[in-house]
Amino acid sequence: MATAYYSHPDCAGHDMGRGHPECPERLGAINDFLLASGLDVALDRRDAPLVDLADVALAHDQRYVTELRDVLGQVEAAGQSRAIDPDTVAAPGTWRAVQRAAGAAVAATDAVIDGEVDNAFCAVRPPGHHATRHETMGFCFFNNVAVAARHALDRRGLQRVAIVDFDVHHGNGTEDIVAGDERILMVSFFQHPLYPGSGGVPLGPNMVNVPIAPYTRGDEIREVIEQMWIPRLDAFKPQMIFISAGFDAHREDDLGQLGLVEADYEWITRRIKQVADRHAQGRIVSCLEGGYALGALARSVATHLRVLADL
C-alpha cells in the first residue's frame, strides 16, 4: 500500500484576486516540487471527487450548506467574483473547488478506512479550518477536516478520532464544530495573538489549545507538543487521526511570525504518525490548510509526505 495524494484541477479555479496569498499557484508550487524531487512517483495520485452535500451537513448547519450552494452557484452563473465576508471572495470556479476540497477529505477517509492506502494527503484549496458551523471565514467555505472527521464517526462507525492542527492561525471553525463532542479530541498550536484572535480559552474539554508567542522557534514548539499533545492523544487512543496541515508557521511565511523549518515539520509529522501507529492502525488523513511562501510551502509539504510515505 502507499500514501494517496488527492487533488484536482478544479481547485485552481478558485481565485480570490490578483496578489491574494491564498492563490492557485500554491498547488502548482507543490506539484512542481514533487515532480522535480522525484517524490511524485511514490504517491498514489487520485482525483478528488465532488462531495456529497449530505456529508457536509454532518459538520455544517443544513441551512448554511444550502445557502452557500445557492450563492456560489449564482457567482458561477454570473461569471463575476463576489465578496462573501471581509476575508473571503468567491470566484466563478469556487463552487467546484469547494466541492472537490471537501470531497477529497471524505474520499481519503474512506480509502484509508477501507485499507486501500495507509494514509492520505489532500492537496486541495480552498482551506477549511476557519469555516464555522454557520459561516464562511478566513478564506474558508466548508471545513474539510471537520466534515471528514464526522464522516468517519457518523457514516463509517469509528468511535474516537483526533484532529491535529498545526497551522499558524487558530482553527476556530473546527473548534466551533467539534467542541464538546466526546468522540473527537482536537489538539493544536497557533500563534497568539494573531488572526482570528481566538483559542485562548478552549470551548470544550476535548480541546487542547496551545497559544504560542510570536517568534517562537521549533525547539520550543517540539517541547510543547511532547508535554501537552502526546499525553492527551495517547490517553484518548484515537482510531484515526485527521491533520489540518498548515505550513504558514514556517519562518519564511509573512502571514505569521513563528520560526518553524522543514525539519520541524518532519519531526511533528513523525510524532503524529507514531501515535497513529500505536492506536489507529496508522490511519491518517491530512488536509492542506495555510502556507503562503511558495518555496517554503512546497518543501514543507514534501517533507510531510516523505514521513507519511515512509521514504
Residue 126, preceding peptide bond in cis (omega within 30° of 0): yes
Question: 42 is written with which cell numbers?
Answer: 511514490
Question: 294 is written with which cell numbers?
Answer: 511558495
Q: Which of 8, 60, 130, 169 is catalytic?
A: 130
Question: 49 is written with which cell numbers?
Answer: 471527487
Q: Label each residue of the chain as H, E or C.
A: CCEEEEECHHHHHCCCCCCCCCCCHHHHHHHHHHHHHCHHHHEEEEECCCCCHHHHCCCCCHHHHHHHHHHHHHHHHHCCCEEEECCEEECCCHHHHHHHHHHHHHHHHHHHHCCCCCEEEECCCCCCCCCCCCCCECCECCCHHHHHHHHHHHCCCCCCEEEEECCCCCCHHHHHHHCCCCCEEEEEEEECCCCCCCCCCCCCCCEEEEEECCCCEHHHHHHHHHHHHHHHHHHHCCCCEEEEECCCCECCCCCCCCEECHHHHHHHHHHHHHHHHHHCCCCEEEEECCCCCHHHHHHHHHHHHHHHCCC
Residue 282 to residue 150: CA distance in whole angstroms: 19
Residue 106 to residue 89: CA distance in whole angstroms: 24
Q: Is 170 among the residues known to form the active site?
A: no
Residue 35 to residue 72: CA distance in whole angstroms: 33
Residue 165 to residue 143: CA distance in whole angstroms: 13
Q: Which residues are catalytic?
A: 130
